[in-house]
Amino acid sequence: MSDGPNAPGFFIVFEGGEGAGKSTQAAALTDALVARGHRVTRTREPGGTPAAEAIRAILLDPAHEGLDDRAEALLFAAARGDHAQRVIRPALLRGDVVVCDRFMDSSIAYQGVARGLGTQTVADLSLWATGGLLPDLTVVLDVDPQIGLARVASPDRLEAEPLEWHRRVREGFIEIARRAPHRYLVLDAGRPPEDLATEVAVVVDGLLA
């Protein structure tokens, strides 16, 4: 099916700021792939294993306002390490298409760029945590944070950051995608969800053919 770096499986990640519609698109792609006979593992970050979900609860809890930036980056990386080793890699080895809501580029954009920890440091941390796991394709759903945040009902600890901070996250994603365009699909999240889903499915079909 795939002869990419994660063969026999294929690893697809949806990235973007708050309220970009990642979950909707991940669900639509999963349905489309299952309808074409693929076996799909759908998962998300931070989370995807019991330990990583427990770390997620720590990270998003507004009670932990002021959590140290490096501690935050390490917790995201710790959750990712467990998720990668126990869910994503086994699924790829079985030949599944893995569809994941957020992965290491979220750490690079949020912790590396917006928190200012440095993109290389945060990328290295994630690569160390996962043993070098990289997606075959990352779909970036680009949204103006003012519009995306307006869709958030009760903000978690990160969503509660100021607009300017979320603008840096957005710029982070765009810059990451610009540096490796062959592995990224950047889409305007303001387009109708059905249009976006169709475009993603066409691109993925082409890569899996």
Residues binding ligand TYD (CB under 6 A) = 18, 45-46, 60, 76, 101-102, 106-107, 110-111, 158-159
The Cβ of residue 1 has, within 10 Å, a number of other Cβ atoms equal to: 14
Nearer to ligand TYD, 38 or 56 (CB): 56
User: Nearest CA to 79 among 40, 17, 126?
Assistant: 126
With a CB cutoff of 8 Å and minimum separation 6, the contacts of 199 are 185, 187
Nearer to ligand TYD, 45 or 96 (CB): 45
Least Å distance, CB 1 to ligand TYD, is 27
Least Å distance, CB 205 to ligand TYD, is 25
How many CA atoms, within 13 angstroms, populate the side-chain half-sphere of residue 134?
Answer: 11
Least Å distance, CB 76 to ligand TYD, is 4
Instruction: Quickly tell me which residue has 């599944």 as its tokens.
Output: 96
Least Å distance, CB 94 to ligand TYD, is 23
Least Å distance, CB 3 to ligand TYD, is 28
Residue 45 and residue 106 in contact, taking contact as beta carbons nearer than 8 Å: yes
Three-state DSSP class for 203?
A: helix
Least Å distance, CB 60 to ligand TYD, is 6
Nearer to ligand TYD, 55 or 92 (CB): 55
CA distances from 5 to 88, 128, 133, 163 (A): 13, 17, 9, 37
Which pairing describes strands 97-101 and 137-142: parallel, antiparallel, or unpaired? unpaired
Nearer to ligand TYD, 168 or 183 (CB): 168
Nearer to ligand TYD, 43 or 106 (CB): 106
Residue 115 and residue 165 in contact, taking contact as beta carbons nearer than 8 Å: no
Here the tokens at position 123 are 């990328």
Q: Which residue is nearest to ligand TYD (CB)?
A: 110
Nearer to ligand TYD, 9 or 112 (CB): 112
Three-state DSSP class for 96?
A: coil
